[in-house]
C-alpha cells in the first residue's frame, strides 16, 4: 500500500515540476501558470486595487457648486516627465497592486516563439497600468497599456485596455489621439454594453478637456442610455408607431458613473440656459433607484434652483421645504437651508437670515458650504447697508477658509477691507451726531434725557441680578439670554452651557481681547494707512460704574468749549463726506451716497467740503436722470467757479490746472521725482494733498499707487501689500489697480 502512495505522489510531483516550466508550450504548463496567475497573484492584486480605490474615493470630495469632472480623480500639475508631483499621497495599496502585476509577469509569463501562451498576462499588464494610473504616474501607465495593445491584439480585455489608454492620453493632454482611438473602437456594432458606455464616457472626458461642451454633452447622453445595436430597432419603432415606443432604459452597469454623467448633463444644459433639458436630466437621477444619494438629493436641489431661474420660486421653495421634512436628508440640510435662504433673500425677507443660521447649525464639516452660508448672510446685510454685521460675517469666512489664494476669497478680502473705512466713519458720524444733538439741547432737556437714560440702566441691572449658572463674560451671557429667559435652545447663542465652552475656547486661542473693531488684529497700526489722516479715532471715555446713576456725572461730561464742539462738527462733516464718496465710488450705492452728501449740505460745511460734495451729487443725479443735477451744476459754476469741479463741468476733456498753473500730470511728475530721490516722507505728504485736491480725476489712482510704493519702502513688505490691497479695492478697473494686483501676486510668491 505504501508503495502505491509513494508512486502516486512521485507521479504528482513529476507533473507539478513539469508544469512549472514557462518554456514548454504544453496543456499542463499553460493551465498551471494561468490558474496560479488568476487565482493567486492577480486576485491579490485586484483586491489591493479595489481597496486603494475605496481609500481614494473616501478622500475625494466633489464640489457640487462647480461642474463635476467626468472622472472623480484629482490631478495636480505635471512635471516635465509627466509624473504627478503629489504621487506619494496616493494610497499605498496601488503600489501593492503594481507589485503583484509585475510578479505575475515575471513568474508566469510564457512568451514562446514571440507569442504569449499564458492568457492571464494581458490582465496583469492591464492591472499594472491601472495601478500606475490611479497613482497619477501616467507615462508609465501609458507604457503598460501600449504593451498590451501591441503584443496582445486578440486579448479578451483589449477593448477595455484601449479605453484606459485613451483616458491616460487625455490626462497627458493628448486628446486628439484619444478621440481617434475611441471612435475607431465604437465602429464595432457588437461591443458589450459596458465597453460602449465607458468609451462614450471617455470621449466626453476628452471633449470636456478640450472645452468642447456640445460634443461632450452629446457623448454623455449616449453613455447613460442602453444604446447598443438594439437602439436602431427603437428608432425604427418611434418613426413607425409612436404608440408602441420602447424607451431606452438608463444604464445600470455602473450606477455611480451613470448618475454622475446625468448630473453633469444637467449642469451643462443649465449653463446653456436650457432649463427644461436640465430638469429632465436631474429628474432622471431622482427616478434612478440605484443612484447614490449624494447625486439624487442634490439633483432635487438643482431642480428647485432651476424653478427659481424660470421665475417660479414658489415651486422651488415647495421642493426644498418637503426635503427639510424628510429625515433621510439630514446630512444635506445645510445645503437645503442655504437655498431656502437665497430664495428669501431675493424676496428681501428677514427669514433669509434665519435660514442661513439654520444652514450653519446643520453643517457637519462641509467648509465650503459654511463659507457660502456666511457669505450669503454677509451679503444680505451688505445689500441693506448694514455694514458692521456684514463685516462680522465676512470675518468668519476669512477665519475658516483654506483657500486664501482663490479669486473668491481674495475678492471677499478686498471687500471686507473696504468696510473698515465705512464702519469707522459711520461710528464717527453716529457718535458725533449724538453728542452734538445733546449739546444743542437746553439744560432742562439734557437733564430729562439723562434721567431717562439712568432709569433704563437701573432696569437693565435689575434684570441682570437674576441668577445665571454660567459665569462667562457679560457680553456672551447677554447673547445667551433669550427673550423668554430660557437658558437653552437650538441656536448656539441660546444655550448657556455651549456659550461657556465657546468662551473658554475663544480665550484659549485669542486671549483676553477688548470688544472693539478689528479685535482679531493685535497690531491695529497696519490699518492706519486706510484712514484719511485728517480723521482721528475718537477716544470714548469708559463709563465710570460708580457714577453711572449720578445725573451730574453725565451733565459734566457734555462738551461746552466752542473749539471742541467745532472739532466735533468738523469730524462729523468729514465723516459724512467720506461715507458719501465711499458709497458712490467703491460700492455703487448711489442712494446711500446721495443721502449722506445731502445731509452734509444741511450742516453748512466749509467751502472745502461743500464744493466736492455738490460735485459728487451732481454726478449721481446725472446718472439717475434727476432734475436736481442741473440745479447743482448751475450752483457749482456760479458759486465755485475757481474750483476744479467747475472747470470739469464746463470742459470735461480739458487738462485741469491747479492754483499755481501746473497740470495734475506735472504735479505727479514732481512727486514721482521725490520718490526716485528717496524722499518717502515728502512723497506721502504731497500725495495725500494731491489726492484731496484732484479727487474724482483719473490722476488719483497714480498718486495712490505711488503712495503705496513709498509705504513699502518705509515700512516693509507686509505694509506694502496692505497698501496695494487698498489700491486694488478702490481702483480695480484702472491700470494702477491691475498693476497693484500684479505686485500682490509677486509678493505672495516670494513670501
> What's the pLDDT score for residue 127?
87
Find out whether 621 and 632 touch, Cβ atoms under 8 Å: yes
Residue 54 lies in a domain: yes
The per-residue pLDDT for range 437-456, each reduced to its tens digit, is 999 999 999 999 989 988 88
Winning range, highest mean pLDDT, from 341-350, 520-529, 723-732: 341-350
Which SS3 state, helix, strand or coil, does residue 512 take?
A: coil
Residue 598 lies in a domain: no
Query: How many CB atoms are located within 10 Å of the residue 726 CB?
Result: 23
d(CA 242, CA 279): 24
Winning range, highest mean pLDDT, from 157-161, 717-721, 735-739: 157-161
> What's the pLDDT score for residue 246?
37
pLDDT at 396 over 70: yes
Closest listed residue to residue 34, CA positions, set 95, 132, 110: 110
- DSSP-assigned beta bridge partners for residue 116: 111
pLDDT at 16 over 50: no
> What's the pLDDT score for residue 261?
94
Instruction: Answer yes or no: do 41 and 124 share one domain.
Output: yes
Instruction: Answer yes or no: do 248 and 168 share one domain.
Output: no
Question: In this predicted structure, which of 184-198, 472-486, 635-649 has the lowest mean pLDDT?
Answer: 472-486
- Under 8 Å CB-to-CB from 152, ≥6 apart: which residues? 116, 121, 122, 125, 158
Instruction: Answer yes or no: do 272 and 391 share one domain.
Output: yes
> For the residues of 199-256, what is the DSSP string, one character each?
HHHHHHHHHHHTT-HHHHHHHHHHHTB--STHHHHHHHHHHH-GGG--PPPBP-TTHH
Residue 445 lies in a domain: no
Which of 140, 173, 206 finishes a domain? Answer: 173
pLDDT at 493 over 70: no
Question: In this predicted structure, which of 65-79, 182-196, 220-234, 354-368 has the lowest mean pLDDT?
Answer: 220-234
- Report the percent of the chain where pLDDT is more than 70: 74
Which SS3 state, helix, strand or coil, does residue 363 take?
A: coil
Residue 335 lies in a domain: yes
Closest listed residue to residue 518, CA positions, set 424, 581, 448, 582: 424
pLDDT band at 98 (very low <50, low <70, confident <90, very high): confident
Instruction: Answer yes or no: do 140 and 248 share one domain.
Output: no
pLDDT at 634 over 50: yes
The per-residue pLDDT for range 61-96, each reduced to its tens digit, is 888 888 999 998 887 654 434 454 444 567 888 888
Residue 316 lies in a domain: yes
- Selected residue with higher pLDDT from 479 and 1: 1
Closest listed residue to residue 451, CA positions, set 541, 551, 573, 318: 551
- Selected residue with higher pLDDT from 421 and 158: 158
Instruction: Answer yes or no: do 142 and 285 share one domain.
Output: no
Which of 127, 142, 173 finishes a domain? Answer: 173
> What's the pLDDT score for residue 572?
92
> What's the pLDDT score for residue 173?
92
Grid cell of 491 as nine digits: 441656536
d(CA 157, CA 148): 9
Here the CATH number for the domain that contains residue 310 is 1.25.40.10
Residue 275 lies in a domain: yes
- Selected residue with higher pLDDT from 407 and 628: 628
d(CA 101, CA 94): 11
Residue 530 lies in a domain: no
Grid cell of 576 as nine digits: 459724512
pLDDT at 334 over 90: yes
Instruction: Answer yes or no: do 153 and 295 share one domain.
Output: no
Q: What is the mean pLDDT of residues 89-108?
A: 76
The per-residue pLDDT for range 42-54, each reduced to its tens digit, is 787 778 888 988 8
pLDDT at 474 over 60: no
Structural domain of residue 737, as residue ranges? 664-750
- Selected residue with higher pLDDT from 409 and 138: 138
The torsion defined by the Cα of 72, 77, 80 and 82, in degrees rounded to 10, comes to -10
> What's the pLDDT score for residue 178?
94
For the four alpha carbons of 268, 271, 274 and 278, in that order, the dihedral sign comes to positive
Find out whether 225 and 250 touch, Cβ atoms under 8 Å: yes
> What's the pLDDT score for residue 491?
45
> What's the pLDDT score for residue 655?
44
Question: In this predicted structure, which of 147-151, 446-450, 513-517, 649-653 has the lowest mean pLDDT?
Answer: 513-517
Which of 173, 204, 220 finishes a domain? Answer: 173
Winning range, highest mean pLDDT, from 244-248, 480-484, 606-610: 606-610
pLDDT band at 184 (very low <50, low <70, confident <90, very high): very high
Q: What is the mean pLDDT of residues 518-526?
A: 42
pLDDT at 695 over 80: no
Find out whether 496 and 487 touch, Cβ atoms under 8 Å: yes
> What's the pLDDT score for residue 743?
85
> For the residues of 655-719, what is the DSSP string, one character each?
----TTS--HHHHHHHHHHHHHTT-HHHHHHHHHHHHHHTTTSTTHHHHHHHHHHHHHHHH-HHH
Task: Work out how many domains the chain is built from and give that number.
Answer: 3
Instruction: Answer yes or no: do 276 and 154 share one domain.
Output: no
pLDDT at 478 over 70: no
Q: What is the mean pLDDT of residues 207-223?
A: 93
pLDDT band at 531 (very low <50, low <70, confident <90, very high): very low
- Selected residue with higher pLDDT from 544 and 458: 458
Grid cell of 555 as nine digits: 451733565
Instruction: Answer yes or no: do 281 and 165 share one domain.
Output: no
Instruction: Answer yes or no: do 42 and 121 share one domain.
Output: yes
pLDDT at 12 over 50: no
Residue 560 lies in a domain: no
> For the residues of 139-206, what is the DSSP string, one character each?
HHHHHHHHHHHHH-TT-TTHHHHHHHHHHHHHHTT-HHHHHHHHHHHTT-TT--HHHHHHHHHHHHHH
**pTM (global) more than 0.85:** no
Q: What is the mean pLDDT of residues 641-656?
A: 74
Which SS3 state, helix, strand or coil, does residue 112 take?
A: strand
> What's the pLDDT score for residue 517?
46
Question: In this predicted structure, which of 73-87, 535-549, 559-573 has the lowest mean pLDDT?
Answer: 73-87
Instruction: Answer yes or no: do 45 and 151 share one domain.
Output: yes
pLDDT at 211 over 80: yes
Instruction: Answer yes or no: do 284 and 142 share one domain.
Output: no
Winning range, highest mean pLDDT, from 243-247, 357-361, 468-472, 527-531: 357-361
Winning range, highest mean pLDDT, from 31-45, 330-344, 459-473, 713-727: 330-344
pLDDT at 714 over 80: yes
Closest listed residue to residue 643, CA positions, set 691, 611, 621, 605: 611
Strand (E) or helix (H) holding 423: helix 407-439
pLDDT band at 542 (very low <50, low <70, confident <90, very high): low
Alpha-carbon separation of residue 354 from 338, 342, 376, 459, 477 (angstroms): 10, 11, 12, 30, 21
pLDDT band at 533 (very low <50, low <70, confident <90, very high): very low
> What's the pLDDT score for residue 589?
81
- Selected residue with higher pLDDT from 234 and 457: 457
- Under 8 Å CB-to-CB from 646, ≥6 apart: which residues? 636, 637, 640
Here the CATH number for the domain that contains residue 91 is 1.25.40
Grid cell of 727 as nine digits: 489700491
pLDDT at 506 over 80: no
Which SS3 state, helix, strand or coil, does residue 402 take?
A: coil
Instruction: Answer yes or no: do 161 and 44 share one domain.
Output: yes
- Selected residue with higher pLDDT from 674 and 204: 204
The per-residue pLDDT for range 53-68, each reduced to its tens digit, is 888 888 888 888 889 9
Amino acid at each position: 500500500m505504501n508503495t502505491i502512495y509513494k508512486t502516486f505522489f512521485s507521479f504528482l510531483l513529476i507533473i507539478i515540476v513539469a508544469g512549472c516550466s514557462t518554456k514548454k508550450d504544453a496543456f499542463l504548463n499553460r493551465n498551471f501558470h494561468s490558474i496560479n496567475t488568476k487565482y493567486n497573484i492577480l486576485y491579490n492584486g485586484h483586491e489591493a486595487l479595489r481597496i486603494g480605490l475605496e481609500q481614494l474615493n473616501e478622500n475625494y470630495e466633489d464640489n457640487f457648486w462647480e461642474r463635476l469632472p467626468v472622472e472623480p480623480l484629482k490631478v495636480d500639475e505635471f512635471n516635465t516627465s509627466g509624473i504627478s508631483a503629489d504621487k506619494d499621497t496616493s494610497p499605498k495599496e496601488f503600489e501593492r497592486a503594481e507589485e503583484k502585476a509585475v510578479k505575475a509577469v515575471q513568474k508566469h509569463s510564457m512568451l514562446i516563439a514571440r507569442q504569449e501562451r499564458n492568457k492571464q498576462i494581458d490582465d496583469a499588464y492591464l492591472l499594472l497600468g491601472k495601478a500606475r494610473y490611479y497613482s497619477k504616474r501616467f507615462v508609465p501607465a501609458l507604457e503598460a497599456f501600449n504593451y498590451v495593445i501591441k503584443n496582445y491584439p486578440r486579448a479578451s480585455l483589449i477593448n477595455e485596455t484601449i479605453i484606459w489608454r485613451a483616458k491616460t492620453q487625455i490626462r497627458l493632454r493628448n486628446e486628439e489621439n484619444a478621440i481617434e482611438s475611441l471612435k475607431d473602437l465604437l465602429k464595432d456594432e457588437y461591443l458589450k454594453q459596458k465597453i460602449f458606455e465607458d468609451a462614450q464616457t471617455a470621449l466626453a472626458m476628452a471633449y470636456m478637456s478640450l472645452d468642447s461642451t456640445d460634443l461632450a454633452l452629446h457623448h454623455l447622453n449616449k453613455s447613460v442610455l442602453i444604446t447598443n445595436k438594439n437602439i436602431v430597432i427603437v428608432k425604427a419603432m418611434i418613426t413607425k408607431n409612436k404608440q408602441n415606443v420602447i424607451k431606452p432604459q438608463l444604464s445600470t452597469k455602473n450606477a455611480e458613473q451613470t448618475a454622475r454623467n446625468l448630473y453633469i448633463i444637467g449642469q451643462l444644459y443649465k449653463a446653456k440656459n436650457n432649463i427644461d433639458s436640465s430638469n429632465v436630466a436631474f429628474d432622471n437621477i431622482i427616478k434612478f433607484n440605484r443612484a447614490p444619494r449624494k447625486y439624487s438629493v442634490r439633483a432635487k436641489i438643482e431642480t428647485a434652483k432651476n424653478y427659481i431661474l424660470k421665475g417660479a420660486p414658489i415651486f422651488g421653495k415647495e421642493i426644498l421645504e418637503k426635503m427639510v421634512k424628510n429625515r433621510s436628508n439630514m446630512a444635506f440640510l445645510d445645503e437645503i437651508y442655504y437655498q431656502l435662504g437665497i430664495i428669501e433673500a431675493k424676496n428681501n425677507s428677514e427669514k433669509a437670515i434665519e435660514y442661513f443660521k439654520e444652514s450653519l447649525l446643520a453643517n457637519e464639516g462641509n467648509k465650503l458650504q459654511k463659507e457660502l452660508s456666511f457669505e450669503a448672510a454677509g451679503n444680505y446685510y451688505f445689500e441693506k447697508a448694514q455694514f458692521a454685521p456684514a463685516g462680522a460675517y465676512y470675518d468668519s469666512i476669512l477665519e475658516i477658509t483654506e483657500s486664501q489664494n482663490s479669486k473668491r476669497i481674495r475678492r471677499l478680502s478686498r471687500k471686507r477691507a473696504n468696510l473698515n473705512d465705512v464702519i469707522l466713519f459711520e461710528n464717527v458720524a453716529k457718535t458725533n451726531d449724538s453728542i452734538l444733538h445733546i449739546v444743542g439741547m437746553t439744560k432742562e432737556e439734557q437733564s430729562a434725557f439723562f434721567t431717562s437714560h439712568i432709569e433704563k440702566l437701573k432696569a437693565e441691572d435689575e434684570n441682570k441680578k437674576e441668577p445665571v449658572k454660567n459665569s462667562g463674560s457679560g457680553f456672551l451671557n447677554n447673547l445667551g439670554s433669550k427673550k423668554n429667559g430660557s437658558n437653552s435652545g437650538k441656536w448656539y447663542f441660546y444655550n448657556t452651557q455651549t456659550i461657556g465652552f465657546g468662551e473658554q475656547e475663544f480665550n484659549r486661542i485669542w486671549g483676553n481681547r477688548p470688544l472693539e473693531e478689528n479685535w482679531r488684529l493685535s497690531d491695529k497700526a497696519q490699518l492706519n494707512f486706510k484712514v484719511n489722516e485728517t480723521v482721528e479715532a475718537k477716544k470714548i471715555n469708559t463709563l465710570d460704574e460708580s457714577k453711572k446713576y449720578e445725573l451730574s456725572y453725565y451733565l459734566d461730561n457734555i462738551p461746552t468749549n466752542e473749539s471742541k464742539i467745532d472739532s466735533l462738527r468738523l469730524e462729523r462733516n468729514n465723516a459724512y463726506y467720506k461715507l458719501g464718496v465711499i458709497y458712490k465710488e467703491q460700492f455703487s450705492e448711489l442712494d446711500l451716497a446721495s443721502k449722506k452728501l445731502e445731509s452734509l449740505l444741511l450742516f453748512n460745511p466749509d467751502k472745502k467740503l461743500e464744493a466736492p460734495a455738490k460735485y459728487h451729487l451732481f454726478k449721481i443725479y446725472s446718472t439717475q436722470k434727476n432734475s436736481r443735477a442741473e440745479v447743482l451744476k448751475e450752483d457749482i459754476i456760479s458759486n465755485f467757479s475757481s474750483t476744479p469741479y467747475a472747470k470739469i463741468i464746463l470742459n470735461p476733456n480739458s487738462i485741469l490746472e491747479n492754483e499755481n498753473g501746473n497740470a495734475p500730470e506735472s504735479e505727479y511728475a514732481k512727486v514721482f521725482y521725490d520718490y526716485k530721490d528717496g524722499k518717502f516722507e515728502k512723497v506721502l505728504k504731497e500725495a495725500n494733498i494731491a489726492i484731496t485736491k484732484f479727487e474724482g480725476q483719473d490722476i488719483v489712482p497714480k498718486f495712490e499707487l505711488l503712495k503705496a510704493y513709498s509705504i513699502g519702502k518705509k515700512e516693509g513688505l507686509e505694509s506694502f501689500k496692505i497698501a496695494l490691497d487698498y489700491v486694488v479695492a478702490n481702483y480695480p478697473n484702472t491700470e494702477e489697480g491691475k498693476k497693484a494686483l500684479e505686485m500682490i501676486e509677486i509678493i505672495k510668491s516670494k513670501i
